[in-house]
Amino acid sequence: MHHLSKKERLEKLAKLKRQEEEKQKKIESADGILDQAKKFATQKKFVEAAEKYQEAAVQFRELQWNDQADLLEKEAANMKQKIQEYQDIAERLETQRQQEFQQFEQRAAQIIAKKKENRREYKEAKQKLTPAMLRKKEEAEFLLEKAEKQEKLEKWNQALKRYQYIIELYQKLQYPPAKLKKIEEKIKSIKTHL
């Protein structure tokens, strides 16, 4: 049996101590990386978490802590799975958001189209005259012709009465103010002759 000298034993102990210190540093480093991985996982930063779990697994494997390394590799794979799940959820949400936006735009377009249709129908209805209104319009046109003839013939009183009645008819028919003004000017002109 070979005995080691005191010097050799001290060197061997020093070497073992250095190896133990290096191992301890690697363990602390791996634990630090593992803590970072857990922190990223809690913050739902799965890409970073997966990278850190993988990095920690490599370090634990170097320490020959294979069970721990296997667990961390599974956790890294789990993080990658979560990344995919979150991407799937994000895609579904985006698709849903786009569909809801399209539905909103369609509803808005329908509402706008309906309002335009209602406005068009309202204008048409307003423009369509009832039989009574149509008779008043024809009467106003006929009276205007007569009043203009009487004005030319200088029959001022008859022309004035007809123009005054035309004003009433125009108001009932809701004629534009410009048409009314024309007749009012004729009335003023006739009154100068009376």
Find all residues with CB under 8 Å of 33, minimum gap 6, and list them.
Answer: 52, 55, 56, 59
pTM of the model: 0.45
Q: Is the model's pLDDT at 1 over the cut of 60?
A: no
Q: Find the angle CA(105)-CA(106)-CA(112) to the nearest 5 degrees.
A: 85
Q: What is d(CA 182, CA 161) in angstroms, rounded to the nearest whole number? A: 15
8 Å CB contact between 44 and 87: no
Asked if 96 contacts 88 with a C-beta cutoff of 8 angstroms, the reply is no
pLDDT over threshold 60, residue 72: yes
Convert the pLDDT of each residue in 85-94 to its tens digit: 888 888 999 9
pLDDT tens digits, 2-52: 677 888 888 888 898 998 898 889 889 888 998 998 999 889 888 898 999
Tell me the mean pLDDT in the region 179-192.
93
Backbone angles phi, psi at 37, to 5 degrees: -60, -45
Lowest mean pLDDT among 74-78, 108-112, 126-130: 126-130
Residue 156 in contact with residue 190, Cβ under 8 Å?
A: yes
Range 50-59 average pLDDT: 90
pLDDT recorded at residue 175 = 84
Give mean pLDDT, residues 158-170: 94
Q: Per this entry, what is the length of the chain?
A: 194
CA angle in degrees (0–180, nearest 5) for 30-84-94 = 135
106-132 average pLDDT score:
80
Contact of 76 with 57, CB cutoff 8 Å: yes
